[in-house]
Amino acid sequence: MVRTQLRARGIEDERVLAAMAEVPRERFLAEEQRPDAYRDGALPIGEGQTMSQPWIVACMTALLELEGDERVLEVGTGSGYGAAVLSRCCAEVVTIEHYPSLAERARATLAELGYTNVEVRVGDGAAGAPDRAPFGGISVTASVVGEPSPTWFEQLAPGAALVCPVRHDHNEELMRFRDGRREPVVPVRFVPLVSERPEGADETEPDEGAEL
Ligand code: SAH
């Protein structure tokens, strides 16, 4: 995986490559998905969510340009795999998951593997973790529409990067935001960030016929 999916496709950060080689991806999956763990694709993890393709995990981690002493925020814990990879590249990870079932499973897997520098929280990742800010990097693993949450920028240390998939119309792109600059990286397809804000009032009433 490291040689053919990552190095050959431009991932050069040796610390990220070492983390990808070290973290046992199969341990973050259910038994029936394990044979496919090192396949070049995303995999289902329950609750309609997915664990990202290895290349995406490596790319997002590398984009943060971590030196090892940072505290990093991850929004969207999912299986916990991305948090595990991040935890090998920085001092501490705070990761937030919307679904309690996924957070619980991720917490258990991370503990089994002895990755003690990861804190898994249940909640709305859009609010970040103000009590642990500022962060030396923020990785968002679900897509936002338009612009990332302003709260994340408030919780980012000067010079640190925020990496986030952003959707515009039908296009989605992984973007890196740093020091007021925005760089498009690669077209992607992520699950949407679940919004916990009451936005229902703006939505069109469902067609009653659809109930049949
Ligand atoms: N990094 C994960 C990939 C998870 S997919 C891994 O390595 O497995 C994105 C995750 O974001 C899903 O688990 C989804 O439930 C979570 N998510 C979506 N909206 C969220 C929100 N508002 N706050 C926290 N987590 C959210």
User: Cβ(128) to ligand 1 under 6 A?
Assistant: no
**Mutation test of ligand 1: which of 52, 191, 195 has the most ligand atoms closer than 8 Å to its C-beta?**
191
Q: Of 116, 105, 90, 140, give the one whose Cα is nearest residue 28.
A: 105
Distance 85 CA to ligand 1 centre (A): 15
What is the average pLDDT across 12-40?
97
Do the Cβ atoms of 45 and 79 come closer than 8 Å?
yes
pLDDT, residue 169, reads: 87
Do the Cβ atoms of 73 and 132 come closer than 8 Å?
yes
Q: Which residue has the tokens 């763990």?
A: 37
Active site residue 52: yes
pLDDT, residue 204, reads: 40
pLDDT, residue 198, reads: 55
Do the Cβ atoms of 164 and 188 come closer than 8 Å?
no
User: Cβ(142) to ligand 1 under 6 A?
Assistant: yes
Q: How large a percentage of the chain has pLDDT more than 90?
A: 91
Distance 46 CA to ligand 1 centre (A): 11
pLDDT above 80 for 44: yes
Do the Cβ atoms of 63 and 12 come closer than 8 Å?
no
pTM here?
0.93
Domains in the chain (CATH in brackets) are 2-187 (3.40.50.150)
Supply 143's token pair. 């897509």
Distance 172 CA to ligand 1 centre (A): 16
C-alpha pair distances (Å), 110 with each of 42, 93, 101: 20, 12, 14
